[in-house]
Amino acid sequence: MERLQLEGKLEKLTRFIEYFCTLLFVVMTTITFFQVVGRYLFGKSFFWAEELSRFTMIWIVFLGASVAVSQKAHTRIDFFINLLPPGIRRLIGIFDTVACMTFMLVVSYYSIGIVKISMRNLSTGLRVPLGFIYIALPVAGVLMTLYFLLQIYHLIIDKKQEEVEQNG
């Protein structure tokens, strides 16, 4: 089966996101470590450390969720679905993926308004626009939508490929 150009680019993007999340995790852990050491050993704390740790965690969660979608790693209970015939299972898979994709499109669309409004508000410690934090939701939503589109494509095309191989 021919490989989609989009699929290759999404794989590279997924690897980049994984590395970026790892970097954010290292930053978050390091900041938290120094915050704890500073507070308990020296009686001093950084006013911005807790806020930066929280913001990096928000980005890790949303970007990590998009990576999980790319790897079909989100939790699902498919016991009853697996009891159904393969054709019906495939249709349910398509419906499920379309429903998830639609949900992410709606969430992404409405979160853009929140990002626009929150760009005027500054965080208390770092003094950065909160929109830079909230934009994680539409970014992850668009990424998840792309991954869901790819999954739908494979659910449809892989079935057609099976039919061609059986008939040919």
Domain that holds residue 29: 5-162
pLDDT in tens, 36-91: 999 999 888 888 999 999 999 999 999 999 999 999 998 888 888 889 998 899 99
- Taking the C-alpha atoms of residue 72 and residue 152, their distance in angstroms, rounded to an integer, is 12
- Taking the C-alpha atoms of residue 136 and residue 64, their distance in angstroms, rounded to an integer, is 11
Please count the structural domains in the chain: 1
- Taking the C-alpha atoms of residue 166 and residue 168, their distance in angstroms, rounded to an integer, is 6
> Is 168 among the domain residues?
no
pTM: 0.86
**Shortest CA distance to 139 belongs to which of 67, 55, 70, 63?**
63
pLDDT in tens, 102-150: 999 999 999 999 999 999 999 998 999 999 999 999 999 999 999 999 9
132: which residues sit within 8 A by CB, 6+ positions away?
119
> Is 65 among the domain residues?
yes
